[in-house]
Structure 1
C-alpha cells in the first residue's frame, strides 16, 4: 500500500473543507481514556499502530488505516509498542 505524502493529505483535506491539518505523534503504549473533541476529525495512520474504541467497538489501525470522528463523539485510544503517528484534519 502506498500512502500519500503529508502535502497531498493536507491539500485533499483543505479541499474538503477542513481548516486545520497536523501530524500527531504518540508514545509507545500510551493510553488515552475516553474523551471527546469539539471538532470533526479525519485521520490517516502513517506509522505504528493504535486501537480506537468508539461506542463499545474497538478498531485496530495500522499504517494506511483511516478513521473519522464526528465532533463530540466519545472515544478512547491505545497506542502500540512502537507508538504511532497519524495525520489528522479537523473542522
Structure 2
C-alpha cells in the first residue's frame, strides 16, 4: 500500500493523528498504548507478539493494534520505520 492511499483510508476511518516512527534493531518489552493504531511499514521489519502469536510485518505491510492491547515488538536487523495513524 502506498503512503497517500494509507493516510486517506485511515482518515475515512476517523484516524486524525499521523506520526512516523523509527526504531533501531532490537526489542521493546511488553506494553500497551492508550490509543488505537494502524501502521504502514515504510522500511525494515517488525515482529509483533500478542499472546502466543507473533507476526512479521515488512515494507508495505499494515498492522493494527486496538487501544490497550498488550503486546511486544521486535525490530529486524535494519530496524523499522513506519507511518502510524492513531485515534
TM-score by length of 1: 0.87
Partner residue, 1:4 = 2
Pick the aligned partner of 2:85 from 67, 83, 89. Answer: 89
Secondary structure class of the residue paired with 1:71: coil
The CA RMSD over aligned residues, in Å, is 1.2
- Listed as ranges, the gaps of 5+ residues in structure 1 are none
- For 1:52 and 1:76, the matched residues in 2 are separated by 6
Secondary structure class of the residue paired with 2:48: strand
Superposed, 1:65-76 pairs within 5 Å as 65-76=61-72
The size of the alignment, in residue pairs, is 87
TM-score by length of 2: 0.90
- Listed as ranges, the gaps of 5+ residues in structure 2 are none
Q: Does 1:15 align with 2:12?
A: yes
